[in-house]
Amino acid sequence: MLQAFVNKLGLTGLLMVLLMTCPISGHAREPLPDRPAASERATPLADLPRPARDTFALILAGGPFPHDKDGSVFGNRERLLPIHPRGYYREYTVRTPGVRTRGARRIVCGGRPRTPDACYYTSDHYASYRKIAL
Q: What are phi and psi of 87, to 5 degrees?
A: 100, -15
Does 67 qualify as catalytic in the annotation? Answer: no
Beta bridge partners of 106: 93, 122
Catalytic residue among 40, 67, 84, 125: 125
Confirm if 96 and 51 have CB atoms less than 8 A apart: yes
Whole-angstrom Cα distance, residue 100 to residue 56?
20
Does 30 qualify as catalytic in the annotation? Answer: no
Q: Is 107 helix (H, G, I), strand (E, B) or coil?
A: strand
Q: What are phi and psi of 90, to 5 degrees?
A: -130, 150
Whole-angstrom Cα distance, residue 122 to residue 131?
9
Confirm if 56 and 83 have CB atoms less than 8 A apart: no
By annotation, the residues acting in catalysis are 91, 125
